[in-house]
Amino acid sequence: LRSCSPGRARRTNASRRACLVARFGDIYAQERLDAENLLRTYIGDTEMVQRIIYIAAVESFQAAKMAYRQFKIRVRETLSLGHSGPESLEDTVLDYIVRHEDLYDVQGSVNEVIRSMNINPKISFPPEIDFIVISTLIRELCRVAFSMQTLVPPLDIAFGTDGELFSETKYHRSFDSDFTAALVAYHVWPALMENDVVIVKGEAVTKR
């Protein structure tokens, strides 16, 4: 543990942030579309397909943030026993987590997301199918969300609700939206935030 260079996580913060923001965009462009195409083979309702994917994204961030908090507590407890500087304990903990992100139990988070989705009243699935079919998307979202918690400041997704006033700064309208409608019917993809500032727009459907 003493081989960690002081403040390594903070020194690499800008480059890690750039990579994670780009990865979030890649997931939107690739894994999200793969999941959408897969779900369409089971569900004919486009709105339901997009709602499922949006809720998977939200639940993935929630599960990853919870896992990060628990992981950080365990690391801090362990490292505090022998910590003597020169860097602060918080910096040492952050360095350790960044160097050992492979210890994150991503499968545990995936299972937690699927459990949450199974009891979400806004989405439904044919009884013969399980949300595990989109576990690749969920896993990649959990990974990127966990890594985003190691940034200073951490990145998070915007909280969205059906019927909220559409925000041009937060979302793009989906192509099938009513472009004169003022309210969000449902969300397709969350916006990415840093200190309550949008850094990557999400996507929403507006309808009258």
Using N-to-C axis directions, what is the helix angle for 89-99 and 46-80, rounded to 10°? 130
Which DSSP letter does residue 177 get? Answer: S
The predicted structure's pLDDT at residue 155: 98
Q: Among 57-61, 74-78, 116-120, 150-154, which is the least confidently predicted range?
A: 74-78
pLDDT exceeds cutoff 50 at 2: no
Please report which confidence band the pLDDT of residue 86 belongs to, taking 50, 70 and 90 as the band edges.
low
pLDDT tens for 112-140 read 999 999 999 999 888 877 899 999 999 99
CA 28 from centroid of its chain's CA atoms: 11
Q: How do the domains of the chain map onto residue ranges?
A: 6-154, 158-207
The predicted structure's pLDDT at residue 10: 77
- pLDDT: which is higher, 17 or 1: 17
Mean pLDDT of the chain, nearest integer? 91
When pLDDT is averaged across residues 49-56 and rounded to a whole number, the result is 97
